[in-house]
Chain A
Amino acid sequence: MKVLVPVKRVIDYNVKVRVKSDQSGVDLANVKMSMNPFDEIAVEEAIRLKEAGTAEEIVAVSIGPEKAQDQIRQALAMGADRGILIKTDETVEPLGVAKLLQKVVEEESPELVILGKQAIDDDSNQTGQMLAALLGWSQGTFASEIKKDDGKLSVTREIDGGLQTIKINMPAVVTTDLRLNEPRYASLPNIMKAKKKPLDVKEVGDYGVDIAPRLEVVKVTEPPKREAGVKVADVAELIDKLKNEAGVI
């Protein structure tokens, strides 16, 4: 089967984000950018399916600026076969991303789309579910284990209070949770090889989809700061404070 893996270019998870003083957003100038960590897990899972003989071809797709080619190249270096960049410098909301991916799915006809459960920039946790809805496909979200089983997909999901296992029809959309796998590092020879793998660059306009934002960002602000309190000397003082000052026990 063919697997489509959407990947997003986001601020690296180790970077401390700074809110711009004009409240228009967070500062992206000269900040290290990386592949969304949940999408890295998706790429890894697709490669494991290929190594197990379940998948034949892996296509990595990204919607973003010219520079998002770096993230597609990373997916190619990890083991994806080819890439598609849908170029735009505008912010595309999850609904718009899902509509563009729907078009890519119609062109590519994968049996499985696997992507991160959320991007660590806007934390929306929507794109996979929306894509499944638009395609009329089944969805297996927050996956910690997937297995192909008699033409269906068995998905173990991380839910409140534990794990849920469901069996879903193919084709399907799966979104990854943290513990699905540990993504590999690309080796230097594979990074060199990835430069020769095919990468198509398209424009958003090529797809004829309305991706105008539905949400207007009014402002972006710093979260309320929590002040450090006091240090207590010992357990007795701690209990005294909790009982008599805070009144919580």
Chain B
Amino acid sequence: MAVLVVADVHGNAIDDSTHKTVTAAAAIGGDIDILVAGENCGDAAAAAAKISGVRKVLHADDAAYAHRLAEPFADLIVKLAGDYDAILKAAATTGKNVMPRVAALLDVMQISEIVSVEAPDTFTRPIYAGNAMQTVKSSDAKKVITVRATSFAAAGEDGSASVETVAAAGDPGLSEFVEENLTKSDRPELTGAKIVVSGGRGLGSGEKFEEVILPLADKLGAGVGASRAAVDAGYVPNDYQVGQTGKVVAPELYIAIGISGAIQHLAGMKDSKVIVAINKDEEAPIFQVADYGLVADLFKAVPELTDAL
């Protein structure tokens, strides 16, 4: 058995989700190799070589992989696929974009967003936005899998795998990169943050969101999230959204402020270790999943909390 983990590379670094995907790969069993593809990403390849339990790192350095365009990236993975029984990548936007293309080129039915490995061919994944859990057994000889990273612990960093350069697979020239507009922030990235502070419709405006939520997040060194209602109302950009149609997070501490707790939001945060809800409506469904609920006017309670920390 051999498993290929395709790393999430950002610039010249690898994302923590790669470490978590390695843990999922280890549960399947066999030798684990990591593919690091990007442009000028030697440091990322070196970092991947340190992940515990990795046999070797395949390093593909080419302009074609600089922006993770689906067509050349999928061709590279398919070219390397022959040696592996399973190919895994975190179910972040790149994995969701690229891996189904890989699966179809290999004539494999992908298993999306697994949260546990039951056996080398059997996996559990959420369906209906996490309102049901489906366990499936794959009959494909090769498995193509995306992994919900928050469901797996991160592998350690005491490894010393070899790094092997692999040739690029060419660019079919079907697409070209134009630009990226990324939200600039000094705060931790939402899906990797240990603490997440999220605001909802109860904030009432973008100004209030900034005034109330951000000081608390900064005091705690937390990532900042929002409910879909707050995003739709224009308080914060789309990529703040936690939920079924946004990001799935599972931090140590999740603080939901002025969020009622629609099913769509709960799907994105209910695996957090400790959940705190602050809301003036004591009937709000968010209190049904909160470990600690505070029924209070958030405009008084949150600044008080920020000051007291």
Contacts from A to B (Cβ < 8 Å): 11, 16-17, 19, 26, 93-95, 98, 120-134, 136-142, 144, 154, 157-169, 178-179, 213-223, 226, 228-232, 234-236, 238-239, 241-242, 246, 248-249
Contacts and interface: CB of A to CB of B under 8 A. Distances in A.
B128 A141 contact: no
Contacts of A95: 103-104, 107-110
A236 B97 CA distance: 46
B229 to A, nearest CB: 13
Contacts of B294: 231-232, 234-235, 238
B233 interface: no
A56 to B, nearest CB: 24
B71 to A, nearest CB: 6
Contacts of B128: 11, 17, 26, 120-121, 123
Interface of B: 67, 69-71, 74, 92-94, 96-105, 107-113, 118, 122, 125-140, 172-183, 189, 191, 195, 220, 237-239, 244-245, 247, 252-253, 263, 270, 273-276, 282, 287-296, 301, 304-305, 308-309
B293 A232 contact: yes
B128 to A, nearest CB: 5
A167 B108 contact: no
Contacts of A213: 109
17 contacts: A17-B128, A26-B132, A126-B110, A136-B172, A139-B71, A160-B191, A162-B239, A169-B175, A217-B134, A217-B135, A218-B137, A220-B135, A226-B289, A231-B293, A232-B292, A242-B292, A246-B291
A74 to B, nearest CB: 21
* B-side interface mostly: mixed
B174 A138 contact: yes
Contacts of B134: 122, 217, 219-220
B180 A165 contact: yes
B175 A168 contact: yes
A128 B101 CA distance: 9
Nearest to B179: A165
Nearest to A95: B109
A233 to B, nearest CB: 8
Contacts of B276: 238, 242
A94 to B, nearest CB: 7
B100 A126 contact: yes
B308 A130 contact: no
Contact of B104 (A98, A125, A142, A158): A98
A125 B96 contact: yes
Nearest to A226: B289
Contact of A231 (B244, B275, B287): B287
A238 to B, nearest CB: 5
Contacts of A16: 131, 263
A94 B70 CA distance: 18
Contacts of B296: 234-235
B140 A214 contact: yes
B97 A142 contact: yes
A179 B234 CA distance: 12
